């Protein structure tokens, strides 16, 4: 039986939390990023954000966040307040994110959304469904989507 040095300390080496420290998250993110660079020979991971500002207050009211890495654009979050939905701003935000991702050398975009969120919006903008994961309630099923950017 293999015994870890961690188990000799008498404390559990593995634990669950819903309040991880930023430093702890960085250990995981940075470690995986170093591994990916080592294995792929490419160091191109960059955050991606397209922000929408209120023209009067200059405060950010919504937008898209994600990242680009190894030829892929990942959309993590996309939010617009209700009063901006259906105005064309969402399409412009998505177009700019795709454009910047192409400029960074990305060939494909990937995201997931929920049935109650915006799958139809993405479909209208050329994205396609490649999978769906059932959830406890069907309206919260996760819909995985992709788009060829080249």
The predicted-structure confidence for 78-94, as pLDDT tens digits, reads as follows 999 999 999 999 999 99
In DSSP notation, 47-104 reads: EEEEEEE-TTT--EEEEEEEEEETTEEEEEEEE--GGGTTSSHHHHHHHHHHHHHHHT
CATH architecture of 44-148: 3-Layer(aba) Sandwich (3.40)
Question: Where does the pLDDT of residue 139 fall: very low under 50, low under 70, confident under 90, or very high at 90 and above?
Answer: very high
Q: Span 103-110, mean pLDDT?
A: 98
Cβ atoms of residues 132 and 142 within 8 Å: yes
pLDDT recorded at residue 16: 94
Q: Give residue limits of the domains in the chain.
A: 44-148
User: Residue 78 CB: number of other CB atoms within 10 A?
Assistant: 21
Which pTM value belongs to this model? 0.87
Is there a contact between 67 and 110 (Cβ–Cβ < 8 Å)? no
Predicted confidence (pLDDT) per residue in 31-56, tens digit? 999 999 999 999 999 999 999 999 99
Q: What pLDDT, on a 0 to 100 scale, did the predictor assign at position 75? A: 98
């Amino acid at each position: 039986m293999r015994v870890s040095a961690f188990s000799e300390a008498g404390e559990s080496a593995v634990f669950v939390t819903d309040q991880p420290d930023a430093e702890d998250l960085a250990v995981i993110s940075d470690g995986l990023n170093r591994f990916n660079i080592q294995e792929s020979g490419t160091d191109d991971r960059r955050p991606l954000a397209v922000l929408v500002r209120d023209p009067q207050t200059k405060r950010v009211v919504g937008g898209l966040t994600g990242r680009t890495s190894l030829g892929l654009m990942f959309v993590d979050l996309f939010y617009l307040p209700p009063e901006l939905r259906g105005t064309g701003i969402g399409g412009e935000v998505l177009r700019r994110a795709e454009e910047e991702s192409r400029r960074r050398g990305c060939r494909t975009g990937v995201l997931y959304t929920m049935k109650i969120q915006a799958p139809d919006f993405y479909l209208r903008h050329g994205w396609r469904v490649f999978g769906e994961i059932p959830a406890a309630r069907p309206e919260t099923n996760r819909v995985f989507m992709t788009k060829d950017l080249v």
